[in-house]
Structure formats: structure tokens, C-alpha cells
Amino acid sequence: MRIATFTALALVTSILSSFGQPKQIAPRDANQPAAKDPAFEPVTDDPRLPRVLLIGDSISICYTVPVRTLLKGKANVHSIPDIGGPTTNGLVNLRQWLGDSKWDVIHFNWGLHDLRIMPDGERQVAPEVYEKNLRELVRQLKATGAKLIWASTTPVPQPEEKLGVKRRSADVPVYNTIAKNVMDENQIAIDDLYSFALPRLAEIQLPVNVHFNPEGSVVLAKSVTAIIESVLPGKSQ
């Protein structure tokens, strides 16, 4: 069944067009005006519904609006106010992103920025540092008491030498394996977006780009929505 509405696709298209190359994000000033992007718009909670937080990079920002549409009437779906960036950025900003409110479900990812190849030829965050950072981020997230869901990092397409921001497709499984080990040790559910997206990249990913086309963002939103809905309060586990 086709789930995308014209409005949802238009919103996702505007999100995609608003992003240039990924970048490291500085700590957000609490007095800074809210971003205009639909994914960043403040959410007015329905107090009868559980609260969901999406944490991730521009891939997650592009599926935020469709997830909100799919979970309308079932959950209040929030997004962090910036691109999540690498794990180093998460360590700086996570406490502020979480705030003081209660979260019922947190769907989160870091990785695509961590494995970015910098001008010196090294990854932005080395695998061993990525693991260390991820363990600390998981520790902080577990302290919220929310149901946690890890989203695996989505594929880097070929030919990778033509990408605007240098990444190696072979690095994605390496970082995903590190993350899976951390999540398994902490009994955290995994939304395997990598395996979900890989066989259909030609249809859902933009050409020579880590981002997804509007239809692709809606397809990813279906996977995200399904696993979130399965752990919402009141659902039998």
C-alpha cells in the first residue's frame, strides 16, 4: 500500500534540498531561533500520547516528517534541533538534546560522520574511539529510562571516489559491527537500516550521494515507524 502523501513527499524534498555537505555541529545556543526546516519545528505534545525522540544525521532528518505522519495519533515525535554529526558532537550536545522531559522511546544513530575521511586521510573518528564514544552515549541514553532503538548506519554508494564528501563504503559494515556489539551488550533493539536499504539503493538513494530521494526517505520511515510502534507503551512485547 502506498503510504506517502503529496504533502509528506513535498516536505521531504524541501529537507533534502536544504542540506549541503555534512559538517561538525557546534553546541547549540539555547537562545538561537528555531530552524525553519519542518523536521526541526517544535512539536506540541498531546499529553495522552508517548514521547519519541529521533537522534541522527541528515538521513534521519529526512525521514522525521514521514515518521511523524505515520505515527500521528500514536506518539509525539520529536527530533534533535541539529544534525547529530559524529559521536564527538553527540558527547558535547546529548544532555541538552535530552533536556529534562521524559522520553518513552529514543531512536538514535551516529556513524556516517564518524567514518568520514578527512584531508589527512584519516577517519573523522577512528573505530576504537567510535566504540568508546558510543559506549558513553549509550550510558547516558540508558539513564533516561526510555526504550532505546539503535539505527544502523546506511550504505555509502559507489563509485565512492565521486562523492562530494569522502567516505569508504567498506567502512560502513565495520562501524555497524562495532555498534551492534555495543547494542547487543546493552540489550538495545536494532533497526537495521543498512540491511534494509542495501538491496534497494538503486531505487531509493540519490545518485552518487549518501542521501535518499523523497520516496526513499518515506521507505526508511516505514522501517523506523514499525520498530518504534512495536515498543510504544501499551504494546505487548
Listed range (31-35, 52-56, 173-177) with the worst mean pLDDT: 31-35
pLDDT confidence bin for 24, thresholds 50/70/90: very low
Which residue did the predictor score with more confidence, 13 or 66? 66
Mean pLDDT calculated for residue range 122-131? 98
176 contact partners, CB below 8 Å, separation of at least 6 = 111, 152, 153, 194
In this prediction, residue 185 carries a pLDDT of 98
Cα separation, 142 vs 60, in Å, equals 21
CB 19 within 8 A of CB 211: yes
Backbone angles phi, psi at 88, to 5 degrees: -60, -35
In this prediction, residue 15 carries a pLDDT of 40
In this prediction, residue 36 carries a pLDDT of 65
CB 66 within 8 A of CB 212: no
Residue type, 87: T
Backbone angles phi, psi at 191, to 5 degrees: -95, 100
Cell numbers for 19: 542540506
Is 90 exceeded by the pLDDT of residue 230? yes
Is 90 exceeded by the pLDDT of residue 221? yes
The Cα-based distances of 84 to 1, 5, 114, 213 in angstroms read 32, 27, 11, 20
Q: How many residues does the chain have?
A: 237
Mean pLDDT calculated for residue range 50-58? 97
Mean pLDDT calculated for residue range 92-108? 97
Is 50 exceeded by the pLDDT of residue 126? yes
Is 70 exceeded by the pLDDT of residue 26? no
Cα separation, 134 vs 137, in Å, equals 5
Q: What digits encode the pLDDT tens for the residues 137-147?
A: 999 999 999 99
Q: Which residues pair with 190 in a beta bridge?
A: 150
In this prediction, residue 202 carries a pLDDT of 96
Q: What digits encode the pLDDT tens for the residues 157-180?
A: 988 888 989 999 999 999 999 999
Q: Where are the alpha helices (DSSP H) in 79-210?
A: 87-98, 127-142, 171-185, 193-197, 201-204
Residue type, 225: T
Is 70 exceeded by the pLDDT of residue 216? yes
Mean pLDDT calculated for residue range 120-146? 98
Mean pLDDT calculated for residue range 11-37? 40
Is 70 exceeded by the pLDDT of residue 14? no
Cell numbers for 114: 564518524
Buried b / exposed e over 174-210, threshold 16 CB at 10 Å, is: ebbebbbebbeeeebbbbebbebbeeeeeebbeeeeb
Cell numbers for 143: 539513564
Mean pLDDT calculated for residue range 27-44? 62
Q: What digits encode the pLDDT tens for the residues 180-211?
A: 999 999 999 999 999 999 999 999 999 999 99
Is 80 exceeded by the pLDDT of residue 29? no
pLDDT confidence bin for 213, thresholds 50/70/90: very high
Cα separation, 236 vs 156, in Å, equals 36
